Amino acid sequence: MADELLSIGKVVDELSEQFKGVSVSKIRFLESEGLIKPTRTQGGYRKFTRDDLEDLRAILRMQSDEYLPLSVIKQRLKDMPRNGTREASTEGLSASSDSDVFPGGQSTVGAEQLAKLSGLSEDTVNELVKVGMITPTADDDGKPSFSLRALGVVEIARELGRYGLEPRHMRMYTSFVGREAALCGQILGVSPKRTPESRQKARVALDEFTSALSRLRTSLLEDNLKTTFKDLYED
């Protein structure tokens, strides 16, 4: 029913099959960031409408498929028509450019601005650079500058920080990614003489290969967690 109100637990149940890892904590975080605004009962319990659920599906899809920063996702939600298929409507939108988000139409920002946009300290941003989570480029003055992609990574780091994960703990993930990238190079090879047609075929193969690696990683992690935390997975 259109006017049905859902508990936060019910929302997690409806989303969990499509989005692995969604949790009560994740939904509360998105609420704290102003992306959703569930109603509250007199007792303070959150209640979600079907529109809220639709918004959550769109938010999670944009995060998982496009790795968009929350600031971009929030703007996209404002621009989207509400037609009962809001998640699907995100696929028809062109990706936001850096100048859509950064102040003054800038294409990149410095560490101080990146910190302000993400809500982290500049010291934390610099730590993320040191461990290889984000990589700056040099602007016209030779100073380090960061793209919209970097903002998305920094926002993820801020979310992980709620669980006590610090930049130094994330160094192992950059090592994992480096090894996976090297494996992709071994499988696909590197050729400076590729034709446009061969580049297109190589890109398709790369996307398919990395997708398979991602599914394998997720599956192995889930199996490991179910073994390690048996009590949490008992019915």
Summarised one tens digit per residue, pLDDT across range 98-139 is 555 666 667 788 899 899 888 889 999 999 999 999 999 987
Q: Measuring CA to CA, which residue among 193, 186, 158, 141 is closest to residue 70?
A: 158
Asked if the structure places residue 186 within a domain, the reply is: no
Distance CA 1, CA 83 (A): 15
Tokens of 57: 């599906």
Asked if the structure places residue 124 within a domain, the reply is: yes
Q: What is the largest CA-CA distance in the chain?
A: 67
Give the CATH number of the domain where residue 131 resides: 1.10.1660.10
**pTM given for the model:** 0.66
The contacts of residue 215 (CB under 8 Å, 6+ apart) are none
User: Is residue 144 domain-shared with residue 170, that is, in the same domain?
Assistant: yes
Per-residue confidence (pLDDT) for residue 6, from 0 to 100: 92
User: Is residue 66 domain-shared with residue 117, that is, in the same domain?
Assistant: no
User: Is residue 123 domain-shared with residue 171, that is, in the same domain?
Assistant: yes
Per-residue confidence (pLDDT) for residue 85, from 0 to 100: 53
Lowest mean pLDDT among 29-38, 140-149, 189-198: 189-198
Mean pLDDT of the chain: 83
User: Is residue 4 domain-shared with residue 71, that is, in the same domain?
Assistant: yes
Q: What is the span of the domain harbouring residue 218?
A: 191-233
Asked if the structure places residue 63 within a domain, the reply is: yes
Amino acid (one-letter) located at 226:
K
Domains: count for the chain: 3
